[in-house]
């Protein structure tokens, strides 16, 4: 079964409850206390390979329809801002067939990484080799909200949801 591009975006945004690429003007994580953030990320990650493994695991869990909504919210940067969107999309009948596959992770700093991923519908790539961002927030590597907002924006005919504007500020 083939889906038109708009249908793919609708499936991705509504059925997986998690989307990925660029809503905010900055690809970086929101700054906190940079010295404590760097040391916290370094100690939590231990190594780049540990960070890559956590990013891949968390990214794929976020896009897994079997992951509870509360867990998905916790795996998204500023997830509480998007909780109502994630909750409403979780009931989509297409949610059970959409997942993600991470093919590459490049840790750029203790707080940010580039992710290359594909969205699969029924196991078949629907959006292949998409760029995304993972951020280290509150002791966990998470899907960057700008990545989620990019897919929400595609789904919404180029218009970002208001939650994306809130997350970017």
Range name among 33-37, 89-93, 133-137 with the lowest pLDDT average:
33-37
**Is the pTM value of this prediction over 0.75?**
no
Q: Is residue 168 packed enough to be buried (19+ CB in 10 Å), middle (13-18) or exposed (0-12)?
A: middle
| Domain CATH number, residue 116 | 3.10.450
110-140, pLDDT tens digit by residue? 999 999 999 898 889 988 999 999 999 999 9
Which range marks the domain in which residue 14 is found?
5-168
Domain count, the chain: 1
């Amino acid at each position: 079964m083939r889906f038109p591009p708009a249908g793919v975006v609708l499936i991705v945004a509504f059925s997986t409850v998690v989307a990925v690429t660029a809503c905010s003007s900055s690809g970086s994580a929101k700054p906190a206390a940079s010295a404590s953030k760097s040391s916290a990320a370094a100690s939590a990650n231990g190594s780049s390979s540990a960070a890559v493994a956590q990013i891949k695991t968390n990214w794929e869990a976020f896009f897994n329809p079997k992951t509870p909504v509360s867990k998905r919210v916790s795996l998204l940067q500023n997830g509480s801002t998007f909780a109502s969107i994630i909750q409403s999309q979780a009931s989509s009948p297409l949610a059970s067939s959409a997942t993600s596959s991470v093919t590459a992770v490049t840790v750029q700093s203790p707080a940010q990484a580039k992710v290359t991923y594909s969205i699969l519908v029924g196991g078949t790539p629907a959006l292949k080799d998409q760029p995304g961002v993972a951020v280290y927030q509150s002791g966990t590597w998470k899907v960057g909200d700008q990545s989620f907002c990019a897919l929400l924006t595609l789904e919404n005919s180029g218009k970002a949801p208001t939650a994306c504007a809130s997350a970017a500020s």
